[in-house]
Amino acid sequence: MSKTADAIRAARANGESALIGYFPAGYPDVKASIDACVAICEAGVDVLELGVPYSDPVMDGLVIQEATELALANGFKLRELFGVIKEITSKVSTPVLVMSYWNPILQFGVEKFAMGLKESGAAGLITPDLIPDEAKDWLRLSEEFDLDRVFLATPSSSPERLEQAANSSRGFVYAVSTMGITGAREDLDKAARKVVSGVNESETGTPVCVGIGISTGEQVAEVNSYADGAIVGSALIKAYQQGGLDELVNCVRNLKAGSSK
Amino acid sequence: MSNLRDQSGPYFGEYGGRFVPESLIAALDELEQTYEDAKKDPAFIQQLAELNRDYVGRPSIITEVPKFAKLVGDVRIFLKREDLNHTGSHKINNVIGQALLAKRMGKTRIIAETGAGQHGVASATAAALFGLECVVYMGEVDTQRQALNVARMQLLGAKVIPVTTGSKTLKDAINEALRDWVTNVENTHYLLGTVAGPHPFPTMVRDFHSIIGKEAREQMIELIGSLPTVAAACVGGGSNAIGLFHAFLDDDVALWGFEAAGEGIETGKHAATLSEGRIGVLHGAKSYMLQDEDGQTVESHSISAGLDYPGVGPEHAWLKDLNRAEYFGVTDAEAMQALRDLAQTEGIIAAIETAHALAGVIKHGGKLPSGSSILINLSGRGDKDMETVGKYFGFLGGNNE
In angstroms, the CA A29 to CA A72 distance is: 9
- Mind telling me how many Å the CA of B177 is from chain A's nearest CA? 9
Q: How far is CA A27 from CA A2, A65, A172, B253, in A?
A: 28, 11, 26, 53
Catalytic site includes residue A60: yes
**8 Å CB contact of B291 and A103:** yes
- Mind telling me how many Å the CA of A250 is from chain B's nearest CA? 30
User: For B48-93, what is each residue's pLDDT tens digit?
Assistant: 999 999 999 999 999 999 999 999 999 999 999 999 999 999 999 9
**A134, A151, A161 ranked by CB distance to B17: nearest:** A134
Of B113, B176, B259, B353, catalytic? B113
How far is the first Cα of chain A from the last one, in angstroms, to the nearest whole number?
36
Instruction: Report residue B37's pLDDT band, with 50, 70 and 90 as the boundaries.
Output: very high
| Residue B165 predicted with pLDDT over 90 | no
Instruction: Report residue B146's pLDDT band, with 50, 70 and 90 as the boundaries.
Output: confident
User: For A90-116, what is each residue's pLDDT tens digit?
Assistant: 999 999 999 999 999 999 999 999 999
Residue A27, burial from CB neighbour count under 10 angstroms (0-12, 13-18, 19+): buried
- Mind telling me how many Å the CA of B37 is from chain A's nearest CA? 20
- Mind telling me how many Å the CA of B141 is from chain A's nearest CA? 17
B182 interfaces chain A, CB cutoff of 8 Å: yes
- Mind telling me how many Å the CA of B80 is from chain A's nearest CA? 36
Residues of B in Cβ contact (< 8 Å) with A176:
22-23
Q: Which of A50, A63, A108 is nearest to A212 (CA)?
A: A63
Q: What are phi and psi of A23, to 5 degrees?
A: -150, 140
Instruction: Report residue B228's pLDDT band, with 50, 70 and 90 as the boundaries.
Output: very high
pTM above 0.80, yes or no: yes
A134 interfaces chain B, CB cutoff of 8 Å: yes
In angstroms, the CA B377 to CA B231 distance is: 8
Instruction: Report residue A259's pLDDT band, with 50, 70 and 90 as the boundaries.
Output: low
Question: Which numeric CATH code is attached to A3-257?
Answer: 3.20.20.70
Buried b / exposed e along B199-238 (16+ C-beta atoms within 10 A) = bbbbbbbbbbbbbbbbbbbebbeebeeebbbbbbbbbbbb
- Mind telling me how many Å the CA of B305 is from chain A's nearest CA? 19
Residues of B in Cβ contact (< 8 Å) with A160:
none
B110 interfaces chain A, CB cutoff of 8 Å: no
Residues of A in Cβ contact (< 8 Å) with B27:
156
CA–chain centroid gap for B206, Å, is 10
Nearest-Cα residue of chain A relative to residue B298: A55
- Which of the 8 DSSP states describes residue B60? P
Per-residue pLDDT, averaged over B248-255, amounts to: 98
Instruction: Report residue A261's pLDDT band, with 50, 70 and 90 as the boundaries.
Output: very low
In angstroms, the CA A44 to CA A252 distance is: 7
A161 interfaces chain B, CB cutoff of 8 Å: yes
Q: Which of B245, B147, B137 is nearest to B192 (CA)?
A: B137
In angstroms, the CA B272 to CA B282 distance is: 15
Instruction: Report residue B400's pLDDT band, with 50, 70 and 90 as the boundaries.
Output: low
Residues of B in Cβ contact (< 8 Å) with A108:
294-295
In angstroms, the CA B121 to CA B136 distance is: 9
Q: How far is CA A117 from CA A64, A79, A207, A233, B199, in A?
A: 23, 11, 22, 21, 31
Higher pLDDT, B147 or B69: B69
**A56, A131, A134 ranked by CB distance to B282: nearest:** A56
In angstroms, the CA B197 to CA B357 distance is: 24
In angstroms, the CA A21 to CA A144 distance is: 27
In angstroms, the CA B292 to CA B225 distance is: 48
Nearest-Cα residue of chain A relative to residue B24: A156
Q: Which of A121, A2, A108, A91 is nearest to A52 (CA)?
A: A108
User: Could you give the ipTM of this predicted complex?
Assistant: 0.94
In angstroms, the CA B197 to CA B243 distance is: 16
B184 interfaces chain A, CB cutoff of 8 Å: yes
User: For B326-341, what is each residue's pLDDT tens digit?
Assistant: 999 999 999 999 999 9
**8 Å CB contact of A108 and B27:** no
pLDDT for A213: 84
Catalytic site includes residue B91: yes
In angstroms, the CA B197 to CA B31 distance is: 13
Answer yes or no: are the C-beta atoms of A166 and A202 closer than 8 Å: yes
**8 Å CB contact of B296 and A130:** no
Per-residue pLDDT, averaged over B167-189, amounts to: 91
B170 interfaces chain A, CB cutoff of 8 Å: no
User: For A217-232, what is each residue's pLDDT tens digit?
Assistant: 988 998 999 999 999 9
**8 Å CB contact of B291 and A134:** no
Poorest-pLDDT segment among B170-184, B220-234, B354-368: B170-184
User: For A131-140, what is each residue's pLDDT tens digit?
Assistant: 999 999 999 9
In angstroms, the CA B78 to CA A218 distance is: 68
B17 interfaces chain A, CB cutoff of 8 Å: yes
Q: What is the DSSP string of B252-321?
A: S-EEEEEEEEET-GGGT----HHHH-EEEEETTEEEEE-B-TTSPBPPP--SSGGG--SB--HHHHHHHH
A108 interfaces chain B, CB cutoff of 8 Å: yes
Q: How many CB pairs (< 8 A) connect A and B?
A: 106
Q: How high is the mean pLDDT of chain B?
A: 95
Of B80, B91, B171, B363, catalytic? B91
- Which of the 8 DSSP states describes residue B349? -
Of A46, A60, A148, A228, catalytic? A60
Please give the single-letter amino acid code of residue A34.
I
B18 interfaces chain A, CB cutoff of 8 Å: yes
**8 Å CB contact of A107 and B295:** yes
Nearest-Cα residue of chain B relative to residue A165: B22
User: For A136-179, what is each residue's pLDDT tens digit?
Assistant: 999 999 999 999 999 999 999 999 999 999 999 999 999 998 75
**8 Å CB contact of A161 and B25:** yes
Nearest-Cα residue of chain B relative to residue A178: B183
B14 interfaces chain A, CB cutoff of 8 Å: no
Instruction: Please report the domains of chain B, with CATH numbers, ordered by start residue.
Output: 12-53+91-205 (3.40.50.1100), 59-88+210-392 (3.40.50.1100)
Nearest-Cα residue of chain A relative to residue B172: A56
| Residue B401 predicted with pLDDT over 60 | no
Nearest-Cα residue of chain A relative to residue B286: A103
Name the pairing type of β-strands A124-126 and A19-24: unpaired
pLDDT for B183: 86
Answer yes or no: are the C-beta atoms of A28 and A38 closer than 8 Å: no
**8 Å CB contact of A55 and B186:** no
**A104, A105, A134 ranked by CB distance to B18: nearest:** A134
| Residue B36 predicted with pLDDT over 70 | yes
B-contacting residues of A 204-223, CB under 8 Å? none
Name the pairing type of β-strands B62-64 and A152-153: unpaired
In angstroms, the CA B189 to CA B177 distance is: 10
In angstroms, the CA B84 to CA B68 distance is: 19
pLDDT for B374: 98
**A55, A56, A176 ranked by CB distance to B23: nearest:** A176
**8 Å CB contact of A181 and B19:** no
| Residue A184 predicted with pLDDT over 90 | no
**B165, B182, B278 ranked by CB distance to A179: nearest:** B182
User: For A187-212, what is each residue's pLDDT tens digit?
Assistant: 667 889 999 999 999 888 899 999 98
| Residue B267 predicted with pLDDT over 80 | yes
Higher pLDDT, A186 or B116: B116
Nearest-Cα residue of chain B relative to residue A79: B294
